[in-house]
């Protein structure tokens, strides 16, 4: 038995030895036959443009294309704007991983670099429509690079400088504007307080007047009155505009603005001023937001910005506007500049997110439809098209609206004040909401790559979330829009006169009747689309008027009645803004011909039908039937498919330099290769 067992064991050992001898060593394993992904650029997955990309870009930018390209080239040629170089591409972006202190210092250096290259020439010393548009173009380019850069410069030029320009008079202009433009002083804007933001009229800082010394005395009477979120105050600002209640002879004359120095030329905080840092934020960490307290700080009488009201050396309050409400309205009117600038910036950031996500979706593949078939491009999935191309259509339409708003504001007259207030309020809210929604959808559409800060789409959400409450909370702004529309409507009814309000002239005609049968040609008809959005706006305004009037009839005060009708009010504000966007897009489209006009028509139809498809108002109030709504829903999908061949040319027409997009918009395989890990 022992001999048999030994023989069996020997045979087994021999078999195992032969088996192991056939396994190659690791160094001999070949990978040559294994398939590897190779980057294929979006251009290889797109046909030739059917329209002139340069002409489309000029439409989207609206003005000063040459100046924008000059700004981009300045950034390309200065290392302070460079993030990383991979291959032939140097990416232009701040490093969001740097410490807050480093980000703040670099932001200041970039502002000064722009100054040294003449980018701010005329920004506050030349008050013309052309200069406003020129400065806007430059700031839009800075915002494409970094929100902190545009906000840091914007606080100094638009808020501080704008306040001196519009709230002040010649004595202020002569003393402060040239120094502002040269940045020999650094200004900030102290309006928001710990206890009051949107409600400027309620701020608690108090200023009194001392006739003996002819000085104003500014005081922070309580902790809730500390100035909060003041951009530039934490480190760099030397002067500020202080918004304060003005008490003269024991009477509160309301909110006024004063120039106050907060640091000396050596950067030391002035006596009577206390400053604290607001600390780290979810975004905008290149801006040094601070908190400011004033302990009986004295400023010369001449530091009152006196375009609306003044105080004589003896201490007598004077104003040509006797009504306090009208005076406050006149005082606040120039602040619409901020809403206009924010609305435009929001559209440009949506462009960055979409350009990055769509280019990635035209080079990234996932899953096969059948065995042995190539993986499908992300943008060839209908679901991916609906996620991104609907937002692209909206962005195009909103770009037209923001350009129109800018030009109305640039050429404004005093008679335009109400129109600009209503338009800027509605569009600021609509466009900033759109931007954040777009950034979120693009983040998700890019999968895990959307989480990387350097790919931008995720970081943009954090950087621009603040826009939703900058210059007024969006929900409050929408209610301001509806309040203005309601006042004009009720006034017209009371006087039995035709309504004259922003975009409401059509309500003097009969209520339109919507055809029962929907077909593609009808749904894509521009006049039908205008009618649909007018019908929604009209219905909501009439419902709001009935709702408020009924509440007032029960003894509820008018203001409280309007407050209780906030749901209708907010929906009306959205309806107004979305209709304004359509009208602006149509104005642009109707000036074009040929294939360019055709593509703009596709974008317009997709924009409108998305708005209708996503708004519950049409079904909630019976403006459309469920079957009509279903047809519109199907038409949205069809339009996305038709727009797919135009996706890349439309992205290229947005005019965003490739280096300013996330790296996944370019050769993401090369960018992530091991050899570039330490690059």
Residues noted as catalytic:
471
Three-class SS state of 91: strand
Angle between helix 417-445 and helix 382-410 axes, rounded to 10 deg = 160
Give every CB contact of residue 5 below 8 A, 6+ residues apart in sequence.
none
- Residue 188: CA atoms inside 13 Å, Cβ hemisphere, count? 27
Pairing state of beta strands 239-248 and 251-261?
A: antiparallel
Three-class SS state of 149: helix
Closest CA relative to residue 661, chosen from 144, 57, 140, 141: 144
Can you say whether residue 419 is alpha, beta or left, with left for phi > 0 and alpha for psi between -120 and 50 degrees?
Answer: alpha
Closest CA relative to residue 140, chosen from 78, 63, 222, 83: 63
Q: In angstroms, rounded to a whole number, what is the distance separating the alpha carbons of residues 559 and 579?
A: 26
Whole-Å CA distances, 5 to 8, 12, 436: 5, 11, 78
Query: What does the DSSP 8-state code read for residue 155?
Result: I
Any idea which residue has 């996500």 for tokens?
357
Cα angle, residue 444 at apex, residues 439 and 447 outer, rounded to 5°: 130
Closest CA relative to residue 131, chosen from 423, 410, 427, 515: 410
Cα torsion angle, 203, 204, 205, 209, sign:
positive
Long-range contacts of 96-99 (CB under 8 A, 24+ apart): 96/285, 96/453, 96/454, 96/459, 97/453
Whole-Å CA distances, 518 to 514, 592, 602, 624: 9, 27, 18, 11
Is 208 annotated among the ligand-binding residues? no
Is 231 annotated among the ligand-binding residues? yes
> Where is the binding site for FAD, in residues?
192, 231
């Amino acid at each position: 038995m022992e001999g048999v067992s030994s023989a069996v064991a020997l045979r087994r050992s021999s078999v195992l030895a032969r088996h192991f001898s056939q396994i190659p060593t690791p160094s001999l394993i070949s990978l040559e036959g294994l398939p590897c992904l190779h980057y294929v650029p979006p251009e290889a997955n797109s046909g030739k443009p059917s329209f002139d990309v340069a002409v489309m870009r000029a439409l989207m930018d609206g003005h000063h294309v040459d100046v924008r390209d000059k700004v981009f080239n300045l950034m390309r040629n200065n290392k302070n704007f460079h993030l990383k170089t991979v291959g032939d591409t140097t990416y232009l972006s701040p490093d969001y991983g740097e410490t807050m202190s480093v980000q703040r210092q670099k932001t200041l250096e970039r502002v000064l670099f722009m100054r040294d290259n003449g980018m701010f020439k005329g920004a506050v010393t030349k008050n013309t429509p052309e200069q406003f548009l020129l400065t806007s173009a430059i700031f839009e380019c800075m915002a494409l690079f970094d929100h902190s850069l545009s906000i840091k410069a914007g606080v100094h030029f638009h808020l501080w400088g704008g306040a001196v320009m519009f709230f002040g008079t010649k004595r202020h202009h002569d003393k402060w504007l040239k120094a502002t433009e040269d940045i020999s002083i650094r200004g900030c804007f102290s309006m928001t307080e710990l206890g009051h933001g949107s409600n400027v009229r309620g701020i608690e800082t108090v200023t009194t007047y001392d006739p003996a010394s002819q000085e104003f005395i500014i005081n922070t009477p309580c902790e809730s009155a500390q100035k909060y979120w003041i951009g530039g105050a934490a480190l760099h600002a030397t002067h500020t505009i202080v918004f304060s209640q003005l008490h003269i002879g024991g009477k509160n004359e309301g909110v006024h603005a004063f120039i106050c120095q907060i640091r000396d030329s050596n950067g030391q905080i002035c006596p009577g001023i206390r400053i604290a840092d607001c600390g780290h934020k979810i975004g905008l960490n290149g801006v040094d937001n601070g908190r400011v307290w004033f302990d009986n700080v004295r400023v010369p009488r001449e530091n009152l910005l006196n375009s609306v009201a003044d105080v004589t050396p003896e201490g007598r309050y004077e104003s040509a506007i006797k009504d306090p409400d009208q005076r406050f309205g006149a005082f606040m009117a120039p602040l619409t500049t901020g809403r206009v600038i924010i609305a435009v910036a929001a559209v440009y950031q949506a462009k960055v997110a979409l350009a990055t996500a769509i280019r990635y979706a035209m080079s990234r593949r996932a899953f096969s439809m059948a065995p042995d078939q190539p993986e499908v491009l992300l943008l060839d999935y209908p679901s991916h098209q609906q996620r991104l191309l609907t937002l692209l259509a909206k962005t195009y339409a909103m770009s037209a609206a923001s350009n129109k708003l800018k030009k109305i504001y640039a050429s404004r007259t005093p008679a335009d004040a109400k129109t600009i207030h209503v338009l800027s309020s509605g569009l600021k809210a609509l466009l900033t909401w759109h931007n954040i929604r777009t950034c979120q959808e693009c983040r998700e559409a890019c999968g895990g790559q959307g989480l990387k800060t350097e790919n931008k789409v995720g970081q943009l959400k954090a950087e621009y979330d603040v826009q939703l409450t900058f210059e007024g909370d969006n929900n409050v702004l929408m209610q301001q829009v509806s309040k203005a529309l309601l006042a004009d409507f009720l006034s017209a009814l009371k006087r039995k006169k035709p309504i004259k309000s922003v975009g409401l002239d059509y309500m003097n005609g009969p209520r339109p009747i919507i055809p029962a049968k929907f077909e593609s040609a009808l749904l894509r008809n521009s006049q039908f689309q205008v009618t649909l959005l007018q019908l929604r706006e009209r219905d909501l305004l009439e419902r709001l008027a009935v709702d408020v009037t009924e509440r007032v009839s029960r003894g509820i005060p008018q203001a409280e009645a309007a407050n209780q009708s906030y749901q209708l009010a907010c929906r009306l504000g959205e309806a107004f803004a979305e209709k304004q966007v359509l009208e602006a897009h149509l104005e642009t489209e109707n000036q074009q011909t040929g294939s360019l006009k055709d593509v703009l028509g596709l974008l317009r139809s997709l924009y409108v039908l998305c708005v209708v498809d996503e708004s519950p108002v049409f079904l909630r109030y019976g403006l459309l039937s469920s079957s009509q709504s279903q047809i519109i829903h199907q038409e949205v999908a069809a339009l996305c498919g038709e727009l797919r061949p135009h996706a890349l040319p439309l992205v290229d027409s947005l005019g965003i330099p490739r280096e300013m997009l996330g790296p996944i918009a370019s050769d993401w395989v090369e960018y992530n290769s091991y050899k570039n890990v330490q690059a």
